Structure 1
Amino acid sequence: MATDDFSPHRRRMLDVAYRILGTWSDAEDVVQEAWLRWSTVDRDQVGNVEGFLVTVTSRLAIDRLRRLRARRESYPGPWLPELISTEPVAEERVELAESVELALLVVLETLSPLERAAFVLHEAFGLSHAEVGEVIGRSEAATRQLARRARDHVREGRPRYRADRAHRRRLTERFLAACFGGELGALIELFAADVRLVGDGGGRAKAPLRVIEGADRVGRFFAAISNSQGAQRYLESIGLAGPAEFDASVEEVNGAPAIVMRVGERIILVVAIEPAGERIGTVFLVANPQKLASLSRSGAGRASGSA
């Protein structure tokens, strides 16, 4: 049956599609479309099933990304990737999990669709340049150029300080405690002087429409939304009326610790940090309910799936 050949490769196809697209919902759609194509081919003529499916998935993802670019350019405020759960991350998947870290996916948004696919397939999945060229329909020489340009952009755009997982988790936990403590001074102390807050509400929830810069301004923002009035305004912005109890925990999201906030079983906010030495250099705040729904589907801290 077609399903018997397809199912063992579905996870890898989702891995590839998500890294090319940055959206879990679109990755699911691409894999579904790949299934429809697989169900109609003469499977006896396919020598390498995984190679065939990864190629189809990659090409579909590239085409979809081209269509999505215009929509993202008119997005209300900063655009951040859809989130996925990477908790727990099995040891053999740690390296793969690093390829979905928010800071990296944000940089990948600056690449062309072909550059992004070349980077993902070569750097994250270990395909040779010749193999990548076959997937994206380019010569090996052209693929090398695409991959080199992509690596240069990523090197320039990624944070220079690469924190280990334990340090990042400790800093995230301190940030969570400072938010609940409501002490502006304690919050500011955690931030680098040039800290940046990038928020994504998608026009559906309260979030900054522009990047906020500077320790004092970012600290005041989090102090304001952490108090009872700020929390209530946020709940109203996402359609939750009346008092509600928040549940906040540090969980593995996109390959790194992040603060996940819930009301009941509903995830309402995710805050992830990027360290800069001993302090926080960047804060990513995702409030768009659509992007939080993808985190729920992938099992944010409540299931055994991994990226």
Structure 2
Amino acid sequence: MTSAGTVLVTGATATTGSRTAARLVAAGHRVRAAGRRGAALPGAQPVRFDWYDPATHDAALTGTDRVHLVPPVGDPDPAAVMLPFLERARALGVRRAVLLSSSAVPAGGPAVGQVHQVLPSLFDEWAVLRPSWFMQNFTGAHLHATTIRATGTFATATGDGRVAYVDADDIAAVALHALTDTDAPNTDLVLTGPEALTHDDVATILTEVTGRPVTHHRLTVAEVRHRLTESAGIPPQFAALLADMDHAIAEGAENRTTDTVHRLTGHPPNDLRTAMARETGRGL
């Protein structure tokens, strides 16, 4: 790994952004932790940053040579704000950009897929992290986690479809390498856990780990869309995108595993039991 330069981490208080910033600091790299009020993370320089306020962009970018991009949450068209930012980043001397996307969204696909498609034309050094769904969706503030805590249930329209959930700690470990290895990946990296599970399997594992019954309820795509809009307050366009992803899972789109975590970090990805046992101490 190289130790030169400064890394700007957007979304530095988010699930993967906070973990990535912490790993960068621990490895001895200079880090700017970006958030709307600055992100107070040990060892990092807090910097105020808002995707929707271009007046915050130059100060965050000046003196930065690498940037970790966590897209604005819930925006169905993040390219509208991200692409002008990335053009400005290149003009100010950023040489490497690592984008957090999704295994469900290819280059040129909806939402962040539009940013993925353009990224290689903006930077000679780049990577797109395309993780499967996060194991941390069952902890913290995610809708699945909050309904599990409140009712012992969670609901999807995935049917018998399988997902190789990935630990956010493993995503951050890959991000560290993508940002700091001497040679940039210059490709997209699909990140998964070690096994593809149905959501009934997930419920069984959560029951075993927590000692509390957890049940997976099966909904239709329309029911999921309504639930996300009415109960979670998610904008209809983005709720429809998420519901359609459930349908894609039901059709087998996420039934795969990759060796990317092991290949880039040297350690196998954590399984769901391991991650949930660790996260239980954080308030599952």
TM-score after normalising by structure 2:
0.32
**Greater relative CO, 1 or 2 (CA 8 Å, sep 6+):** 1
Which structure: greater helix fraction? 1
Greater C-alpha Rg = 1
TM-score after normalising by structure 1:
0.30
